[in-house]
């Protein structure tokens, strides 16, 4: 895998990417706070806990940059970015319950603090709030795209559940899951930005391609980091995917090339879950070239994302989108 940027350098790079939409990001924070408000105390507590955890907010950032790169001059792209962030946050709340996760972004997950029931129900609240905001945008195409996207994400969750503990999961099946679970939301956000800008069909499709390839690259790197990142920087437990029996690409690739003895160990780890053999499995993944293969695919997706921007007019926002794609594959957490 190509050497990633050091943590501080990556942070500086992200700060530069955010610069062209710094004011919109400030407004985004205001919209998120205002739209989260509820007269139900527990909803406020859970929603503020998960959103307040921060994170890179790459999805809403990509919406803001895409809208401006398409020459959008209005202000609704901030609401659109908040919609994407709310849907993403809802999926995190639900994912952590399904996966039994206890740590995210370096602190306890909402389900660990408030319980599974509260996390699921507040996730539902965020979904419904997002759709209320879509109605306010007043564009039926956006509503249709986001309805399809959320349905695709839900089906991705089910597919991932079906693949769990299955050592015979194929690379194609894995790629289908990460498209549905991750890339589809990036794709929908970029398309929504183009629609708000009333971009011509060719530009809209270019933004769809950009979002899809950016999201795929991001998830490929995420899955590789589960086996090699610094735990403190990553903000979650290393080997979480293995503990949950998730056959991600580094593991799938290693399994297809391992010795019979190592393959048996990998298959058992996927079938049983757990981290008893994490060190040995990590060595097998590294020696098989699983991390390098995953990195090559991520680089290819990054290149395709940048290629999709070719026909957009040159601007600081277009350059920031290019840098965002670079950041997705160079990050350390």
DSSP 280-321: HHHHHHHHHTHHHHHHHHHHHHHHHHHHHTTTSPP-HHHHHH
- pLDDT for 11: 59
Closest CA to 333 of 56, 54, 63: 56
CB atoms within 10 A of CB 71: 14
Instruction: Report the C-alpha gap between 145 and 1 in whole angstroms.
Output: 35
Report pLDDT for 237.
61
In tens digits, the chain (333 residues) has pLDDT values of 444 433 445 556 899 999 999 999 999 999 998 998 888 988 888 887 877 776 789 999 999 999 999 999 999 999 999 999 999 999 988 888 887 777 766 678 888 888 889 889 989 999 999 999 999 999 999 999 999 999 999 999 999 999 999 999 999 999 999 999 999 999 999 999 999 999 999 999 999 999 999 999 999 999 999 887 555 444 456 678 888 899 999 999 999 999 999 999 999 999 998 788 888 999 999 999 999 999 999 999 999 999 999 999 999 999 999 999 999 999 877
| Sequence-distant (≥ 6) Cβ neighbours of residue 112 within 8 angstroms | 96, 101, 102, 103
CATH architecture classification, 7-330: Orthogonal Bundle (1.10)
- Our CA dihedral for 327, 201, 129, 182, rounded to 10 degrees, sits at -40
Q: Are 227 and 238 in contact (CB under 8 A)?
A: yes
Residue 224: how many other CB atoms lie within 10 Å: 25
Spatial CA neighbour of 226 closest among 313, 325, 333: 333
3-state secondary structure of 102: coil
What's the token pair of residue 194? 């183009």
pLDDT score, position 216: 98
pLDDT at 9: 52
> And the tokens for 299?
């680089």
- The phi and psi torsions of 109 (rounded to 5 degrees) equal -70, 160
The pLDDT of residue 8 is 40
Q: Is 68 exposed, middle or buried (0-12, 13-18, 19+ CB in 10 A)?
A: buried
pLDDT at position 101, please? 76
- Give residue 240's pLDDT: 81
């Amino acid at each position: 895998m190509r050497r990633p940027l050091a943590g501080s350098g990556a942070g500086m790079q992200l700060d530069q990417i955010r610069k062209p939409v710094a004011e919109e990001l400030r407004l985004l924070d205001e919209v998120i706070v205002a739209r989260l408000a509820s007269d139900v105390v527990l909803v406020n507590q859970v929603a503020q806990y998960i959103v307040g955890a921060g994170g890179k907010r790459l999805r809403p950032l990509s919406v803001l940059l895409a809208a401006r790169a398409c020459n959008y001059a209005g202000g609704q792209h901030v609401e659109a970015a908040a919609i994407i962030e709310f849907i993403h946050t809802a999926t995190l709340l639900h994912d952590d319950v399904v996966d039994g996760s206890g740590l995210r972004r370096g602190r306890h997950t909402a389900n660990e603090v408030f319980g599974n029931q509260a996390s699921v129900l507040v996730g539902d609240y965020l979904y419904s709030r997002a759709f209320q905001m879509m109605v306010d945008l007043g564009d039926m195409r956006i509503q249709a795209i986001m309805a399809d996207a959320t349905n695709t994400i839900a089906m991705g969750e089910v597919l991932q559940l079906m693949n769990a503990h299955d050592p015979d999961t194929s690379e194609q099946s894995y790629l289908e899951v990460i498209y549905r679970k991750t890339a589809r939301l990036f794709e929908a956000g970029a398309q929504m930005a183009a629609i708000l800008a009333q971009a011509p069909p060719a530009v809209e499709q270019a933004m769809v391609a950009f979002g899809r390839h950016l999201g795929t690259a991001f998830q490929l790197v995420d899955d590789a980091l589960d086996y090699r990142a610094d735990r403190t920087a990553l903000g979650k437990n290393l080997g979480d995917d293995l503990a949950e029996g998730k056959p991600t690409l580094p593991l799938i690739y290693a399994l297809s090339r391992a010795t019979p003895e190592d393959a048996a160990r990998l298959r058992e780890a996927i079938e049983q879950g757990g981290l008893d053999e994490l060190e040995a499995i990590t060595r097998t993944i590294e020696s098989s070239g699983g991390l390098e293969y995953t990195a090559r695919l991520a680089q290819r997706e990054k290149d395709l994302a940048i290629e999709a921007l070719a026909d957009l007019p040159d601007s600081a926002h277009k350059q920031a989108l290019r840098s965002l794609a670079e950041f997705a594959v160079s990050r350390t957490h």
